[in-house]
Chain A
Amino acid sequence: MAYGLQITNNSNEILIDSDFAHYHYIGKATYVSTTHIPNLLDGNNTQHSTQQGQHMSPSQVNGDVIKYTIATNSTSSPPPMCFIKPASTGSSAPHCGIVLTKRSGSSWEIQVLQTRGGTNASPNSSTRPNLYCFSPLSHMTSSQASVGSSTYGLATFNSSGSKTFDSRLKPLKVIGAQAINAPSIARSASKANGFSPVFTPDQSSNYNVTRYVSEANSSDLMFYAPSLAHACQQHSVSTDGDGFQSQGYSSFFYAWARTDLWWCFYRNVFQLSHVNSSTAKVNSAYRIYASGHVWKSVQDNNSLLAAIAAAALAFATFGASLVVVGAFVATSAITSAFTSAGLASGTYLPYSDGARNQGENVTVLLSKASYYD
């Protein structure tokens, strides 16, 4: 650096550098709406197939998808850094995390997934979090970049003459950082529970984050954690039968088979807790973003042997392509539900049991909302 300004701390870490595009507060993202991925529930029945379980499992509670928007100054501005200020902290607080950031004109839409409690039939939403957003000065709108009547402070400029730091515009102050990971999988225990399989996550990881400032509790904390980790888990049940139905004129032999597939698509989300005055705890876990239950039944009454063979074939075909068939059924049947929810339609079951990106380090940054309120 031939010229300019660089300020470091006593660990020689850079705090201000006139060549850096420092992030500054651009405001709280504006709340738009709360929705959730619709239940992807569909299947067919035949006369003798069991009619149990034609519902979502009680534990398949999709989290709230909370939409926010924040303006930037152009259609080419990079996405803002958004810190989540949860409405509550502690082990009972809902987990939340940013699951989508997308451009809409010169604004950005940010979607936050937040856990819902209760059951699928009777879910409970929690108070939504606030999003505190930060952007380089060069991408702020004129109102965001306005210093008002303030005439003192520190500003730096790069070699092109562009302002890169301005103490009057609330630069981002990080008070703690920690590399974390998502758990290997959402649930390790058995999901088997008849026609109501259990998908409640039972795996999480705790990380203690040392704060640079002392705090009596975590109520003022907010976090940034750009995780891409996600997981899918599924459970299937196959039922079949054959027999003789005494039924007036049309007493008959029959055979049937039905296969059910329940699944959940989890996203990595976080929960803040207070440990002590210098330490906060980040709980990294998966929570349900989307879920579904599809099933298929076949029955044949013409010939018992042929019926058993037909049912077995249909079962094998369906069983071999559960994900594909499940996706097809859900997509074709429930598209309108996505439109109503204002969400992109899709299967939301990208793969079978497993997790992705859970091994990638995620840097969690902590800051305080009161710096910007």
Chain B
Amino acid sequence: MAQAGTVVQKPAIPLPEKIAIGLTVNGTRQHLRVAPWTSLLDTLRDHLDLTGTKKGCDHGQCGACTVLVNGRRINSCLTLAVMQDGATITTIEGLEANGSLHPLQQAFIDHDAFQCGYCTPGQICSAVGLLAEGKAGTNDEIRELMSGNICRCGAYPNIVAAIRQVMGQA
């Protein structure tokens, strides 16, 4: 501990006040106070303890942080929580219904579509978005429209197979 009198007092830098926001996350209304610079990703993980959404690169290049905002897939690392005030957010934790896995979660298990699993929540949320968009038909189109999600274990062929399985059910 520094002795009194030896501490160099730095002038306090006034921080902007935290801002009150409301988010509906996986069906639950949440009221939070966040600093302006808090990303949606950090809000989910550090404020709401929803650690299923992963921080990979934190620069929008890997897709591990993909969540659905108002039904659209986005990179949660590249948006601020304050910008999403009022939004409806679905993370990997919110995909199951009544104790049953989402069909894509089950398909990823059926096709062994992961190894280490770090990219998987982002892959699955991205695939939910892809199915909702309805722009993918062929395997080439699935690959192209999943290109925002990197898998360093290289499970790509099985990820495509899992998505195809769910497309077939639709």
A and B associate: no
